[in-house]
Chains A and B, each alone.
Chain A
Amino acid sequence: DSGVTQTPKHLITATGQRVTLRCSPRSGDLSVYWYQQSLDQGLQFLIQYYNGEERAKGNILERFSAQQFPDLHSELNLSSLELGDSALYFCASSPVSTGGGQETQYFGPGTRLLVL
């Protein structure tokens, strides 16, 4: 158990719908990261938040957005869902975000999203 929790574990929805994925970081960690794991794209970085502020952005679609709340939990919002958005969405956390990269990211169990 990494200490990072994600809910829900599984989500089945229809095209065009909107879903929210939730992540609670390890106690004391200020940085939260979101990654998408799909069969065709592999594991891809989506977005990072540090202490409530967006820190880095990857290949995140405009239909997707995220935020980090004062209690440091984060939510990833996926809207106008398409079949191709079906994937495993991982959240990770790390203590700080110095930009030096010398930090271990601890991953949660993931949310498996299926869009029908």
Chain B
Amino acid sequence: AQSVSQHNHHVILSEAASLELGCNYSYGGTVNLFWYVQYPGQHLQLLLKYFSGDPLVKGIKGFEAEFIKSKFSFNLRKPSVQWSDTAEYFCAVNSPNNAGNMLTFGGGTRLMVKP
């Protein structure tokens, strides 16, 4: 069974600091990778996704992520965070081998950006 680990449960940064959130998955086959964000009181929104091709993926709001197959990682980055980036971030994976499209989520990372 696949699993996803997000090692940082809580991250506190000042505005303009750089951000990197870790995501590691355990699955030996081909995977599709996603980062979702949940702003306070809102639904999950897709930040970016990786299916194939260039392992450096750019998403919305200046976020990017890099897929490193050898490390089973898909870390999320942003060069300069803003107060409005305060939210919870979830990494998720699914596999083309699954009958459906079920997503397996990591435990989430709560980011607080201090103004």
Contact = CB atoms under 8 A, between A and B. Distances in A.
A107 B100 contact: no
A101 B51 CA distance: 9
Interface of A: 2, 4, 31, 33, 35, 42-45, 48, 50, 55-56, 58, 90, 92, 94, 97, 99-110
Contact of A45 (B45, B104, B108): B104
Contacts of B107: 42
Given A90-B44, A107-B44, A109-B42, A101 B98 contact: yes
From A4, A31, A44, A107, name the one whose CB has the most chain B CB atoms within 10 angstroms: A107
B82 interface: no
B94 interface: yes
A43 B96 contact: no
B94 to A, nearest CB: 4
B105 A43 contact: yes
B98 A56 contact: yes
B54 to A, nearest CB: 15
Contacts of B49: 104
B95 interface: yes
A107 B108 contact: no
Given A43-B90, A99-B96, A101-B94, A108 B43 contact: yes
